[in-house]
Structure 1
Amino acid sequence: MIRMRIAIALPVLLLGACTWVKMEPGGTGVRVLGLDAPVDGCTRLGEIGVSVKDRVAFYQRNDLKVRDELETMARNEAIGLGADAIRPLEEPAAGEQRFTAYRCGTAAPGRSATPARTTPPASQPLQLEDAETYPIREE
Structure 2
Amino acid sequence: MSACTWVQLSPEAAEVYLRTTSQVSECDRVGTANVNALSQIGFIDRSAARLQDELVDLAKNEAARLGGDSVVPESTIDDGKQTFGVFLCGR
Q: TM-score, normalised by structure 2?
A: 0.91
In structure 2, how many angstroms separate the alpha carbons of the residues matched to 1:78 and 1:53? Answer: 20
Residue correspondences, number: 90
In structure 2, how many angstroms separate the alpha carbons of the residues matched to 1:60 and 1:86? Answer: 26
More strand by share: 2
The corresponding residue for 1:42 is 27
Q: TM-score, normalised by structure 1?
A: 0.61
The structure that has the greater radius of gyration is: 1
The corresponding residue for 1:31 is 17
Letter in 2 for 1:94: D
Gaps of 5+ in 1: 1-13, 107-139
Q: Which of the numbers 51, 61, 73 marks the counterpart of 1:88?
A: 73
RMSD: 1.2
Deviation at 1:104, TM superposition (A): 0.5
Letter in 1 for 2:33: I
Gaps of 5+ in 2: none
How do residues 56-95 of structure 1 correspond to structure 2 at under 5 angstroms? 56-95=41-80
Poorly superposed stretches of 4+, deviation over 2 Å: none
In structure 2, how many angstroms separate the alpha carbons of the residues matched to 1:40 and 1:58? Answer: 41
Letter in 1 for 2:63: A
Letter in 2 for 1:46: G
Deviation at 1:38, TM superposition (A): 3.9
